[in-house]
Structure 1
Amino acid sequence: MKDTLEIVQNVAEACDDKRAEDIIALDMKNVSLVADYFLICHGTNERQVQAIARSIKDTVEEAGITVKRLEGFEQARWILVDIGDIVCHIFHKDERSYYNLERLWGDASRVNLSYGQEG
């Protein structure tokens, strides 16, 4: 079984594979009881947002992890993928700036991600 940080890296790579933009991970362990990590990214249209969510789901299931919840897939404006210790937020770019989770969870430190592009 991979450790949680490794899974965050794999999920970031899955997002990058679908050309997700501005991929960030927040360490939520000292900030929230909801999850250890939030991964946040966005796509430029509904189909891309759905493709990113699908890529995350496939990646974690290949690693033997069950997706606990997937919400917002049909509308593809803000898809939430709950994989237990990690909650992924895939936004349509318009919604991302509106909800601005990075600012909302400003107390959380950013995780250094290493994947395809700079990160």
Structure 2
Amino acid sequence: MNSKELLEMAVKAGDGRRAEDITALQVDEISPMADYFVIMTGGSDRQVQAIANAIIEKAHENGVNIGSVEGKNHAHWVLIDLGDVVVHVFREETRHFYNLEKLWSDAPIVNVNQWVND
């Protein structure tokens, strides 16, 4: 899968578990870490874990190598490293505290509306 397909897969998987406020940032021009950061919110610890599990499951189904998964046991911020795409699944208060969108404000926002169901 190329990075755009990975991005679409992660967004759809998160949306399928009712992730809220899904935002994707194109960071390839400002960071060597990844091409995209995906940031999404779950309303409870259980939902954050369900969103993370859905993304991990889709990655496995598509033969995507997962670099690492961090924070899954605590479920306030789960980071899933899919290589060219890094997914951040937050509880709302944790997302506001770290405010990655502001931290990476130089990165263009990617329109993900085509992949989410309103």
* % identical equivalent positions: 42
**Cross-structure match for 1:62:** 61
**Cross-structure match for 1:99:** 98
TM-score (norm 2): 0.95
**Cross-structure match for 1:35:** 34
Structure 2, unpaired ranges of 5+: none
Structure 1, unpaired ranges of 5+: none
Q: CA RMSD in A?
A: 0.9
TM-score (norm 1): 0.94
- AA paired with 2:92? K
Q: Which stretches of structure 1, 4 residues or more, deviate above 2 A after TM superposition?
A: none
**Cross-structure match for 1:116:** 116
Output the CA distance in 2 between the equivalents of 1:39 and 1:56: 11
Output the CA distance in 1 between the equivalents of 2:65 and 2:5: 16
- AA paired with 1:115? W
**Cross-structure match for 1:49:** 48
